[in-house]
Amino acid sequence: MPAIPSLGNLRGRGNGRATRTGQPHVPVPLSAYVVDCGVYVGGERQPGPWTHSEAIQEVRSRGEGFVWIGLHEPDAQQIQGVAETFGLHELAVEDAVHAHQRPKLERYDETLFMVFRTVRYVEHDSPTTANEIVESGELMAFLGTDFIITVRHGNHAGLAHLRRELDADPERLAAGPASVLHAIADHVVDHFLDVTDRIEDDIDEMETEVFAPRTGVTSEQIYLMKREILELRRAVSPLATPLRRLAEGYTRLVPDEVRSYFRNVHDHVTTVAERVTAFDELLTTLVDATLGKITLQLNSDMRKITAWAAIIAVPTALAGIYGMNFDYMPELHWRYGYPMIIAVILTICLVLYRIFRKNRWL
């Protein structure tokens, strides 16, 4: 396959010849980015360490088996050798290096390129005080007839545990590299299910807090939870279409015995997507309920203020009247005029207070 012409351009984006301090750039070997490289024949992992070129040469000389290479956040310079050896398309390589992709499935000649967004639940004391609940990362996979290359971005959702499980199940790996792609998809979706379960508990707790008397939950805290749900939705919803295409026979790289398993994963993603949509709708309802409680509280406070203002207006009005400087005013020179005015003020105020209490304004 011809050399990839734009890899030099890709390399220049992330790796200059000199650093800002003027010191020459020291290239980092590919081995620093390779998490693992294994050769599988008949579902069994072959012993010995392998480089990417030695591994694919071994498989193709045998005429059977496949190579599984795992990379963690490689730059364009480091992935160049792998791209040229396996014939990876330049556009897919660029996406794998720079990340920030939405879940998708693309076909380049005889290679599939699939992007997953991984999520992790961030532990916290309370959903009403947490600044972050969902942490996201990315996982890309190049699938060929005799290889699968995974590129991971982020510090979570590692595949070491998954690789050990598959190494212990040769019958499953005997189906080829497509079985690894299915295992990765199932692994990612299992994390979706776990995160949605944890978030559901948080939303239940927040819902209880919102409808509790004298709650301290604000609309800003609920909106933060909605933002975290949006982060989860960006990882879940777009993945349904690629999984459905794989289950429906989008490519010959996925044999029939593996396609049915992708259908099961697609069902799980659909379930998670529905739950995430329900979470978002519930949080919208909680925001409306919180704003409604705030409005109700303001109305209650305004009623109390109005009631007390009406009560205070009575002595204020009478005091204003008898504070006038007229010589001839009723009861002005009467001995019992002052006690009578005090009695009238107290009586009117007491009547108003009882009326407001009866109507629950006070």
pLDDT tens digits, 188-240: 999 999 999 999 998 988 888 888 777 777 778 888 888 889 989 999 999 99
115 CB-side CA count, 13 A: 24
The DSSP symbol for 54 reads: H
Residue 311 lies in a domain: yes
| 233 & 96 share domain | yes
| 157 & 175 share domain | yes
List alpha helices for the chain, DSSP H: 7-14, 52-62, 76-86, 90-98, 160-167, 170-173, 177-210, 219-236, 240-247, 256-321, 337-358
* Residue 271, Cβ density class (10 Å: 0-12 exposed, 13-18 middle, ≥19 buried): middle
Full residue range of the structural domain in which residue 239 is found? 7-293
| 227 & 193 share domain | yes
Say what the pTM is. 0.75
**CATH number of the CATH domain containing 323:** 1.20.58.340
The DSSP symbol for 239 reads: G
Residue 318 lies in a domain: yes
Angle between helix 256-321 and 240-247 (nearest 10): 160
Q: Give pLDDT, residue 104.
A: 93
Q: Give pLDDT, residue 77.
A: 84
Mean pLDDT in residue range 110-121: 92
Residue 134 lies in a domain: yes
**CATH number of the CATH domain containing 65:** 3.30.460.20
Residue 83 lies in a domain: yes
pLDDT tens digits, 148-192: 999 999 887 788 899 999 999 999 999 999 999 999 999 999 999
CA dihedral 195, 197, 202, 203 (to 10 degrees): 110
From CA 191, how far away is CA 179, in angstroms rounded? 19
Q: Give pLDDT, residue 31.
A: 53
